[in-house]
Amino acid sequence: MGLIRRIREWWRRRHRKRGTAAGADGGERESQERAPRSGKTFASLESERYARGNFLHFGKLGGAYPAGLDLKGAADLLGIFGSDLYAPGMQDLEHERPYKPAPLLPGTHICDFCARPVIGGEYQVLRDGRERCAKCSRTVVKDAGSVKKIFREVKKRMELLYGIEFTNEVSVQVVSAKKLHKLSGREFVPTSGFDARAIGFALVKRGRQEVVLENGSPRASFISTTAHELTHCWQNQFPYFHNLVERVEQGSLSNEMRLMIVEGHATWSEVQYLFLIGEHDEAQFAMDNYLRRDDEYGRGFRMYMEKYGFSKTSVIVRDTPFSHPDNPLDL
């Protein structure tokens, strides 16, 4: 008897022993008897065997994964490359839990625009030392015409979507990171990691408002920063926000709380704007970053998110801080 035939005969005998029983007419019928000792049917045992042996089930039985699968290690590796699919608390923001991203591998370069690790060594180093990944480089806002066009579009859409009005003229200027920091009285020192820095600010110049933005930004980042700084321009129209500085000087309000009120509103506004224009991936990524931050921006963002939430469609369907210019957080 050949080897293949012997294997077939062995398989038939094994199958008869485990899954069939003789019928009254001498034929065979499928057994639904309880397996000895286990109390399970042969069908359920076969399902378990299939689950253990089929990689698509990952061997999961009864809610437990086998020790041989390093699921946490896999999630950490995904986190290194910018994926937050397994980040606890990030899928359901109403049940937020503390989350810390996985540590980066030594020597990893970080894009200074999207804050994601650079994969495969493909990145550009700008003249002022900033590093930009290939993905961000594909959508860079390059020329002055594009800058002004996008700026006007964001301003107009914010008025329409948020139901607000910019009563004063607002101009825009785009400069390098080094010059932007010089204008704001700070110093910019580039590194191979992510360089936390000012990427824009709003100021009043000779009675006119001006937004100064960092150059070299990808389109989505440029749009979100524009929405952030235009929110500050809107705040400058109302006495409540001007009086925050006086309250700090009088000692009735901490400077930390002042920044949380002002910057929390602006960070909420930029994330909400990204949702409204359909940039959901960028909105979620920005949201996750602010939720991880433990400074005035992050804490302020969480205060506004808790109070107002987000409309994730193309229109506002809930209350917003723009409807409460005299006290958006009831403080």
In a domain, 6, yes or no: no
In a domain, 257, yes or no: yes
Check residue 123 and give its pLDDT: 83
In a domain, 59, yes or no: no
Of 246, 236, 225, 243, give the one whose Cα is nearest residue 203: 236
Under the phi-then-psi rule, with left for phi > 0, alpha for psi from -120 to 50, and beta for the rest, what region is 54?
beta
What residue numbers bound the domain in which 313 lies?
238-331
Contact status, residue 282 vs residue 224, Cβ threshold 8 Å: yes
In a domain, 316, yes or no: yes
Rounded distance between C-alpha atoms, residue 229 and residue 198, angstroms: 11
pLDDT in tens, 236-295: 999 999 999 999 999 999 999 999 999 999 999 999 999 999 999 999 989 998 999 999
> Who contacts 225 (Cβ-Cβ below 8 Å, separation ≥6)?
199, 200, 213, 214, 217, 270
**Domain count across the chain:** 1
Rounded to the nearest 10 degrees, how much is the dihedral formed by the CA atoms of 175, 179, 299, 328?
-60
DSSP helix, strand, coil percent of the chain (3-state; round to 5): 45, 10, 40
Rounded distance between C-alpha atoms, residue 301 and residue 279, angstroms: 19
In a domain, 312, yes or no: yes
In a domain, 255, yes or no: yes
Contact status, residue 82 vs residue 73, Cβ threshold 8 Å: no
> Who contacts 138 (Cβ-Cβ below 8 Å, separation ≥6)?
218
Q: Which residue do the tokens 């001007």 mark?
A: 242
DSSP letter for 323, please.
G
In a domain, 267, yes or no: yes
pLDDT in tens, 21-56: 444 444 433 334 344 454 554 444 444 554 455 454
Angle between helices 296-308 and 255-276 (to 10 degrees): 60
* Residue 33, burial from CB neighbour count under 10 angstroms (0-12, 13-18, 19+): exposed
pLDDT in tens, 48-107: 554 455 454 454 544 455 666 776 777 777 666 555 544 444 433 333 344 455 555 667
In a domain, 273, yes or no: yes
The pTM score is 0.67
H or E element in which residue 124 lies:
strand 123-125
Worst-scoring range by mean pLDDT, 82-91, 200-209, 211-220? Answer: 82-91
Give the other-Cβ count within 10 Å of 288's Cβ.
Answer: 17
Tokens representing residue 154 in the block = 């964001």
